[in-house]
Amino acid sequence: MPITTETTSTNGKGTLSARRQKPAVPSVVQRHRQVPWIVAGVLLVVGCALAFGVASVRASHGEQVLAVARSVPAGHVVQPGDLRVVKVTPTAGLDPVLAVSESSSVGRPAAVALVAGTLLTPADLGTPSGGNGDVVAVALKAGAYPPSLGPGGRVDVVPVVGGSSSGSTPVSGQSSSIGAVVLSVDATPAGSSADAVVSLQVNPADADEVAALAAAGQIALVELPSGSGS
What type of residue is 58? R
Nearest-Å Rg of the Cα atoms of the chain is 40
Q: Residues near 163 by Cβ (< 8 Å), separated by ≥ 6?
A: 216, 217, 218, 219
**pTM for this entry:** 0.46
Q: Taking the domains of the chain in order of start, what are their residue ranges?
A: 63-124, 134-223
In Å, how far are 54, 121, 171 from 91, measured between CA atoms? Answer: 14, 14, 55
Lowest mean pLDDT, pick from 38-42, 94-98, 111-115, 130-134: 130-134
Helix, strand, or coil (residue 104): helix
Q: Contact, 133 vs 204, CB < 8 A?
A: yes
Q: Contact, 106 vs 78, CB < 8 A?
A: yes
Residues 51-64: pLDDT tens digits? 665 555 555 567 88
Q: Contact, 27 vs 36, CB < 8 A?
A: no
CATH class of 63-124: alpha beta
Residues 167-191: pLDDT tens digits? 455 555 556 889 988 888 888 888 8
Q: Given this model, what pLDDT does residue 16 score? A: 46
Q: Where are the alpha helices (DSSP H) in the chain?
A: 28-60, 102-105, 204-216
